[in-house]
Structure 1
Amino acid sequence: MNHNQTFSPVEMAFYKESNQIHTSTLIPYITVDNFPKLGLITACRFLEWVSENPNGVISLPTGKTPEYFIKWTKFLLENWDNKKGKEVRQKYGLEKCNKPDLSNLTFVQIDEFYPISSKQANSFFHYVQKFYIEGFGLSPENAILINSDEIPLSGGRHFKEVFPDLKVDLSLRFRDPINELEKIQQESIYLIDEWCGKYEQKIREKGGIGFFLGGIGPDGHIAFNTRGTQLYSTTRLTETNFETQAVAAGDLGGIEVSSNRLVITIGLETITYKEDAVAIIIAAGEAKAQIIKDSLENPMSNIYPASSLQKLTYGRFYLTKGAAIKLKDSLDNYFKEGTWTWDKTERAVIELCKKLGKYGDRLKLEDLKNDKYTAMIPDLAEDTVEKVIESTVLKLQKGTLKQKNEVILHTGPHHDDISLGILPQITTQLQENSNEVHFSVLTSGFTAVTNTFIIDTLLQAKKLLDNGDIQMVKYEDFFDVGYKLKTDKDVYHFLTNVASENEYQRVRGLCHRLIRAIVGIYEIKDENGLRETINDLISILRNSYDGEKNPSKIQKLKGMIREFEEELVWAHFGVQVKNVHHLRLGFYTGDIFTEQPDKKRDVEPILNLLRKIKPTILSLTLDPEGSGPDTHYKVLQATAEAVRQWNEEENLENFRIIGYRNVWFKFEPFEANVITPVSLGDMSVMEDSFANCYLSQVKASFPSYSHNGKFSTVAKRIWVNQLQDIQLLLGKNYFYLHETAKVRSSHGLIYTKDMNVQEFLTHARELEKSIEGFI
C-alpha cells in the first residue's frame, strides 16, 4: 500500500515541523516530543476530519489517555476565530478549514465494564456523557451508548438482581445451570449477547465508524480487544487478561474489583469495517515501546490486536519519541540525524553486545564494521569498545563515591516513588553523619488507598478503643493539642513491633496515627465524638461504590495514612518525622484529569521548602513524556518552576539535580551518567521496608501490569535486568573480581542522571512549551 499520498494537511504540517512521519512500518506513524503535544496533533486531525464529515460517525477513548486531546479540542473550538486559535490553526494545517460543527455527529461508545451502573462517575458511560456529549456539544439522540442499567435481562430484572455479586460466569453460555439463579443468569447472558449484536448492527447501519481514536494497552489491546482477539471480532461481552485488569484497577477501585468484572467492547472488525475510516492509536512513553514495535513491525496478527489497523489506508499511530524508541526507523533516524554524540557511540556498542550476545571485550573491530549503527561511529578503531567500557566504569565509580557534607532533598510525586527509585543510594548517604537528608512527597497520594483498607483499619481502631488499648485519648489535653504530639513515638512504636513480630502492637501503632489524623481533620473534642465520627466514616465508605471519588476530608485521611507509611520507611534509617515533608500539592484532586500545576498554589510550597532546607542536592523523578502516571510530569513541571525561581534568588552554581526513574519509566544505559551497584542486602532492605511500611500497598490493589504483586518486586527485577546489560559490556568477572566489596556484591544496578540547573531546566522547558498554549 502506498501511504505517501494519504496524509492530511494537519499531518503534513506536523511533518514539516519535526520531519517525523514514518511510512516504513506496516502502519504509518508520526512522532511528537511529549504527551501534551500528542493531544494537540490528535485534536487538530479530529477537527480537520469533522470539518469534512459533519454528519460522520466517531468513536473516542475514555480514561486518562485523551486528556490533552480533549483540552486541545475544546481550546480550538472556543478560540477558533481569535488570535490564539488562528495561530495554532495556521501552524498546524487547519487554516483552510471552516469551524467544525459537532452537533450532527454520531458518537459510538467504545467499551464499558459490565456490570456497572451508568450513574457511577467511574463508568465509561458517565465519562462519555461528561466529556464528549456535553463537553463537545454532541447530539445525545445520535449517540450509540452502552448503558448497563438499560441492557435487557431475564424477566426485565436489573443486573443487581441477576448478578448480586456483580460477577458474570460466561461458562453458562456452554453448560447447564445448576439452580434457579444460574438459569436466570444464563438467560440474561444470552440477552446481553443479543443486545451486543444489535449494537453492532446500529453501527453498521450508519456505515461504520468514520473516525476512531484509541489508546493501546500494555498487551497491545485496543478498546478491550486483548491479546489473542480475533481480527474479525465484533461487539461482545467478554473477559479480560491480567494486564488489562491492572490498568483498569485505578478506575474500579482495585484489582480485586477489576479482576472480577467483564467488559462489553466493540470488536476489531467494528473498528476497521469502514474502508476509508481514519483510525488513530496514541501512545506515550518508553513503557509502551515494545508493544508499539510489535504492533507496527509485525504482519497482521491476533497476538497484536492493533495490527488490525493495517487494513486501513488511513490507519495511524501517533507516538511520543519514547514510545517509538524501539522502532527500526526510529533507531535509524536517531543514529543518522544530527551530529554524532558520545551517547550514540555508547548506545550502538551496548546494543551490539545484546544483538550478538557477546561480552564487550570479545567484540572485534570486524563486528563493529559489520553492524549498521556501530559502523557509523566516527574514527572507529580497535579501542572504540574499550573507550565505551572505560566510560561505563567511570559511571560506576561515580555511583560508589560517598557523599559528605551535603544537604540532600529527595522528592517524589507519590509515596514509595523515592524508595522504589533510589533507596540503595539513600542508605549510603544516611550512613554518613555529615550529611543532612530530607524527604518530600509532593502529592497526598490518597487515590492509592482503597476504601476496604480504611474500613478495616477503622474497625480495628474501634476494637482497640473498646478494649482500652488507645490510652492517649484519656489524656486531659489530647483533643486540644495532644493529638499533634509524639508522632515520632508512633513511628518508633510501630517499627519496634515490626522487629519483635508483634502484629497486634503494629496494628495498634497504625490506629494511633489514624486516630490522631481523624481528631485533627474533623476537629473532634471528646471520645464520644471520636467514636461517632469513626462510625460515620465506616458508614460513608461502605455505602460508596468501588472507585468513587471520596469527600475531601476522607481524601485527606487516606493521604495521611500514606504519609505515615513514608515516615515509617525513612525511620528505618533513623530519619525523624520533622525531616519528612508532606506538601500535598493542590493540583492533585482525585479527578479523572488532575489540573495543571498552578504557579502560586503548587510551585510556592516547593520553592519555600527549597528556601528553608537550602539543599545542595535535589533528587526527582525525571519523566518528561508522561510515561507513568500523569502526576509524574505535572510534579516535574512544578518542581522545575520552583528550581528556576530559586536559581534567580541564589547562586546555584554547585547545585546538583539527580533524575531517577522507577517502575514506570526506565533509563537506558547511555542516558544515565551515574550507575549505582545494588547488593542482595539492598534489595532485601527495600523489599522488607516496602512490605512492613507501605501497609496500604502490600496487597497490591493497583499493581503494575508487568507483575501481579508488590511494586518492590518490579523495582528489584528492573535493577537486576540493568545489571545484566552492563555485565554484557564489562564482563561478569569485572564485578565478582572487583577490588571493592560494594561492586563485588552487585546483583543489580540503578541508573540516574546527574544534572546541573541549566541541564535540568532544558529538559523541563520542552514539556512546558508543549502545553503553554492553553494554560
Structure 2
Amino acid sequence: MSSVSDVPPSKLSESTRMLRYDNVPLDEVEHIPCRVFRHATQASQAVAQQIAALIRTREGEGRPCVLGLATGSTPVGVYNALVQMHQEEGLSFRNVVTFNLDEYYPMQPHELQSYVRFMREHLFDHVDIDPANVHIPDGTLDEASIDDYCRRYEQAIQDVGGLDLQLLGIGRTGHIGFNEPGSGRNSRTRLITLDRMTRRDAASDFFGDENVPRRAITMGVGTILDARQVVIMAFGEGKARITAEAIEGEISSMVAASFLQDHPSAQFFIDEAAAEALTRRRAPWTLGKVKWDETQTRKAVIWLAQQVKKPILKLTEEDYNEEGLQELVATRGSAYEINLQVFRYLQSTITGWPGGKPSHEKQPGDRSRALEHIFPKRVLIFSPHPDDDVISMGGTLIRLVDQGHQVHVAYQTSGNIAVFDDDAIRFAEFAAEYNRHFGIDPDRTAELDSHIDEFVKHKQPGQVDSAEVQFIKGLIRRTEARAATRSCGVPAEQLHFMDMPFYETGRVRKMPLGEEDIQITMDLLNQVQPHQIYCAGDLSDPHGTHRTCLSAVLNACNRLKDEAWYQESEVWLYRGAWQEWGPHQVEMSVPLSPQELMRKRAAIFKHESQKDKALFPGPDPREFWQRAEDRNHATAQLFDALGLAEYEAIEGFVRWKGDMDSVL
C-alpha cells in the first residue's frame, strides 16, 4: 500500500534517521514555520484573515497594501473567503495594489486558461479594487519586448514600496511561481521554459498536454524573497513529499521553494494530508512526547516493521529502543503485547465477505461485523466518475454481487469532459450510419453528424464543447459504465446516472456543490435505502470532483440520519484512483484472488475512452487499471511483509463515523 512511509530514501529521510535517538525541537527540523490545519478550507480561511488584517492595517496607516497573488486551485479558497469578507464585513480593496506571479506565454486575456480571466472570475470582479492597481504579466507581448517589460514589472513593484505579502502555492517540482528546477536565488521576472512535469500537471486545463504553452512569464525567486511576508500553501497527499523537501530538506535550486528557508517571515499553511511526510507526522516520536492512542500505536509499529524489515510479531524490545520508540513500550506494555495488539487488529480487518456472511457460512469464532444479521444487503456504490467504481473497488463490487447482495451503482457525474474529440466523431458516425440504414430521421441525423464534425474540426484548445458534443461524450461514458457493471453482474435497472448539476459546466473548473446536488443524492438514498453505502474518499483527485461528490453523499447522510432505514446502514470510503489509505487507517481489507483481479481489470477495460491514454490522467502517467493493480498488489505485499496472510491483491476501506470534519 502506498503511503508517505514509502517515499524513496533522500537527504530528508537521512536526517529523519539521525533524529530517532534524541528528541529534537521542531524548529530545528522544520526550517520554515509551518501551520497545519485539519482541512484545506480552514487553512484558506486563516490565510484570508491574515491578508484582510494586513489590508486594514495599511488602510489605517494611509498606505497602499501591496499583494503578490497566485493562481491555480490552491488559493481559490482564500479568494472566496476574501470576497465573502468584502460582501459581508465591508472589507475594502480600494487601497490594495496587486502583482500576479505569472502568466502563460503566449496567452490572450480572454482565454479560459488565462490568469487574467482566473483573477477576474475568482476575485477582482467581486471586490472594489481599482483596475489600475491590478498588474498581471502580459502574455500578448511581442517576444522582442519581453525583457524590457519584465524590467518595468520589477520597477513597478519597487515604485509602490515593494510587496507587503506574497501568496504562493507549490508545484510538484517544488516550483514557486513558474520558477522551475534550476532557478537561481537571485532570479528576477523573466520569460522561462516550463518543465515537462509542470506542463503535464496543467494538461487538464488545456484539454491535453500538447495544448499547454511551453513558456511563461514569471516573477523570479529573488522578487518573491524581497516580499516582507511570504505565505505558501499546500493541500493534499500529492503535495506531501515536495512540501517536506522544501521545509526540512537542504536549500537547493532544484526545489525553488526551499529558498524560503532563508526568508525572515515566511510561513507554510497546509492541511493534514500535505503534512503527512513531515517528521512531525511520519515519526513524531523523534521530536518529543506523543499521545499513544491506538491509531498512533499502529502507525508507529507498522513504521518500525518497515524500517527494520521485519514482520510485526518478530519485533523486539531492542528494535523499539534503537528506533526511538522506548516511550511506546513504556506506555503501552511489552513489545510482545504491542506486537500482538497491532497484528490482531490488522488481521481482524481482513474479510472475504464485505457484505457479511449468510448464516450457513458462519464458523464458530467468526468475528461479528456491523449489520451481520442482515443478509443479503442492499448496497449502493457512489462513483464520482463513470469508472471510479471498478477502478477503486471493482474486486469488492464483484464479490458483493457474487455473494448475492443487491448491488446498485450511482454515477454522480457524466464525465463528459474526459472524452477525446475523435471518440465523439467516431460515435456520431456510428449513430449516423445506423440511423441511415434503418431510415430513422435521415435529415436530422445528417445535421447532427455534420455539426459534431464541423464543431470539432474548428474547436480551439480548451474551448467548451457544444451541447450536442457534450451529450454524445456523456453517452459514451454512460454506455461504458453499463458494459463494465454488466461484466460484474450488476443488472441495468440497478444503475443510476445522477448527472449532478455542479459538474455540468463543460469546463475543468466546476461550480460549487449546490442544494440540488444534495437533494438528488438524498432522493436516491431514500429510494434504495441501502444497508451499505460506498463512496470515494481519495480527495487527491486534482480536479476536485471526488471531494465535491463525497461532500454531497455525506451531507445527504447527515440529513437522513434520523430515517428508520438509515439506522441499519453503514458508510465505507474507498480509494484507489488517485491515492491509497495508509495501512494504519484501513478498517476493512478485502483480499482478491488472481481470477478476481483479472475480472476487475476486464471491467476497467470496458471504459475504452479512458484506455491507453486518458484525457485527464493527472500527474500519474500510468493507466488507471495499472494504478489500481499496483496499489492492490502493494497492499497485499505490505500485509505479507508485516506477517499476515499472503494474498494476490487487497482493496482497503475506512468506515465513516458520521463526523463531517473527519473527512472534508
Contact 2:537 2:575 in 1 (8 A): yes
The 3 A distance-change label for structure 1 pair 407 and 296 is same
Q: Take 1:120 and 1:269, find their aligned partners in 2: how far apart are those partners?
A: 29
Gap runs ≥5 in structure 1? 1-20, 82-98, 153-187, 476-525, 736-742, 769-775
Task: Look up the equivalent residue of 2:408 and give its one-letter code.
Answer: H
Output one character per residue of 1:646-692: Cα deviation in whole Å (capped at 9) or x when no partner. Answer: 33222433322211112323211111111122444444444443344
Is 2:156 aligned against 1:199? no
Aligned partner of residue 424 in structure 2, secondary structure: helix
Task: Look up the equivalent residue of 1:290 and give its one-letter code.
Answer: R
Partner of 1:5: none
Aligned positions of 1:376-455 closer than 5 A: 376=328, 377-397=331-351, 405-432=376-403, 434-455=404-425
Q: Give, in angstroms, the shift of residue 333 of structure 1.
A: 5.8
Q: Take 1:678 and 1:204, find their aligned partners in 2: how far apart are those partners?
A: 62
Partner of 2:77: 68
Q: Take 1:286 and 1:399, find their aligned partners in 2: how far apart are those partners?
A: 30
Contact 1:235 1:264 in 2 (8 A): yes
Partner of 2:294: 342
Is 2:84 aligned against 1:41? no
The 3 A distance-change label for structure 1 pair 79 and 291 is same
The 3 A distance-change label for structure 1 pair 656 and 225 is same
The 3 A distance-change label for structure 1 pair 559 and 421 is same
Contact 2:379 2:533 in 1 (8 A): yes
* Higher mean C-alpha displacement, 282-291 vs 680-689: 680-689
Contact 2:377 2:532 in 1 (8 A): yes
Q: Give, in angstroms, the shift of residue 32 of structure 1.
A: 1.3
Output one character per residue of 1:353-385: Cα deviation in whole Å (capped at 9) or x when no partner. Answer: 122233324321221133334632412332321
Output one character per residue of 1:84-103: Cα deviation in whole Å (capped at 9) or x when no partner. Answer: xxxxxxxxxxxxxxx5x422
The 3 A distance-change label for structure 1 pair 383 and 337 is closer
Contact 1:284 1:627 in 2 (8 A): no
Task: Look up the equivalent residue of 2:301 and give its one-letter code.
Answer: V
The 3 A distance-change label for structure 1 pair 206 and 727 is farther
Output one character per residue of 1:254-277: Cα deviation in whole Å (capped at 9) or x when no partner. Answer: 22322x632222222221124xx2
Gap runs ≥5 in structure 2? 1-24, 358-374
Partner of 1:528: 443
The 3 A distance-change label for structure 1 pair 233 and 678 is farther
Is 2:217 aligned against 1:264? yes
Aligned partner of residue 602 in structure 1, secondary structure: helix
Normalization by structure 1: what TM-score? 0.74
Contact 2:354 2:400 in 1 (8 A): no
The 3 A distance-change label for structure 1 pair 306 and 640 is same
Q: Take 1:281 and 1:373, find their aligned partners in 2: how far apart are those partners?
A: 33
Is 2:97 aligned against 1:112? no
Match for residue 55 of structure 1 among 51, 54, 64: 64
Output one character per residue of 1:519-543: Cα deviation in whole Å (capped at 9) or x when no partner. Answer: xxxxxxx221121122223333433
Aligned positions of 1:562-601 closer than 5 A: 562-590=477-505, 594-599=510-515, 601=516
The 3 A distance-change label for structure 1 pair 419 and 240 is farther
Q: Give, in angstroms, the shift of residue 386 of structure 1.
A: 2.8
Q: Give, in angstroms, the shift of residue 26 of structure 1.
A: 0.4
Aligned partner of residue 568 in structure 1, secondary structure: helix
Aligned positions of 1:495-574 closer than 5 A: 526-552=441-467, 554-574=469-489
Q: Take 1:457 and 1:203, find their aligned partners in 2: how far apart are those partners?
A: 53
Q: Take 1:299 and 1:339, find their aligned partners in 2: how far apart are those partners?
A: 30
Partner of 1:285: 236
Task: Look up the equivalent residue of 1:454 and give its one-letter code.
Answer: A
The 3 A distance-change label for structure 1 pair 661 and 381 is same
Partner of 2:36: 31
The 3 A distance-change label for structure 1 pair 23 and 58 is same
Partner of 1:695: 609
Contact 1:398 1:674 in 2 (8 A): no
Partner of 1:664: 578
* Higher mean C-alpha displacement, 333-342 vs 386-395: 333-342
Output one character per residue of 1:308-336: Cα deviation in whole Å (capped at 9) or x when no partner. Answer: 21122211110111211221124566997
Aligned partner of residue 177 in structure 2, secondary structure: coil
Output one character per residue of 1:438-472: Cα deviation in whole Å (capped at 9) or x when no partner. Answer: 111112222322445424543x43xx74xx55467
Partner of 1:365: 317
Normalization by structure 2: what TM-score? 0.85
Match for residue 133 of structure 1 among 114, 120, 124: 124
Q: Take 1:586 and 1:400, find their aligned partners in 2: how far apart are those partners?
A: 32
* Higher mean C-alpha displacement, 191-200 vs 113-122: 191-200
Q: Give, in angstroms, the shift of residue 431 of structure 1.
A: 1.9
Partner of 1:156: none
Contact 2:204 2:618 in 1 (8 A): no
Alignment coverage as a number of residue pairs: 614
The 3 A distance-change label for structure 1 pair 656 and 210 is same
Partner of 1:239: 193
Q: Take 2:70 and 2:508, find their aligned partners in 1: how far apart are those partners?
A: 13
The 3 A distance-change label for structure 1 pair 253 and 401 is closer
Partner of 2:15: none
Q: Give, in angstroms, the shift of residue 208 of structure 1.
A: 3.7
Aligned positions of 1:442-481 closer than 5 A: 442-458=412-428, 460-461=429-430, 465=432, 468-470=433-435, 473-474=438-439
Q: Give, in angstroms, the shift of residue 45 of structure 1.
A: 0.9
Contact 1:113 1:264 in 2 (8 A): yes
Contact 1:349 1:388 in 2 (8 A): yes
Contact 1:67 1:593 in 2 (8 A): no
Q: Give, in angstroms, the shift of residue 23 of structure 1.
A: 4.2
Aligned partner of residue 604 in structure 1, secondary structure: helix
Q: Take 1:211 and 1:437, find their aligned partners in 2: how far apart are those partners?
A: 53
Contact 1:220 1:295 in 2 (8 A): yes
Output one character per residue of 1:136-163: Cα deviation in whole Å (capped at 9) or x when no partner. Answer: 33232233222322x02xxxxxxxxxxx
Indicate the percent of aligned positions where both proteins have the same amino acid.
22
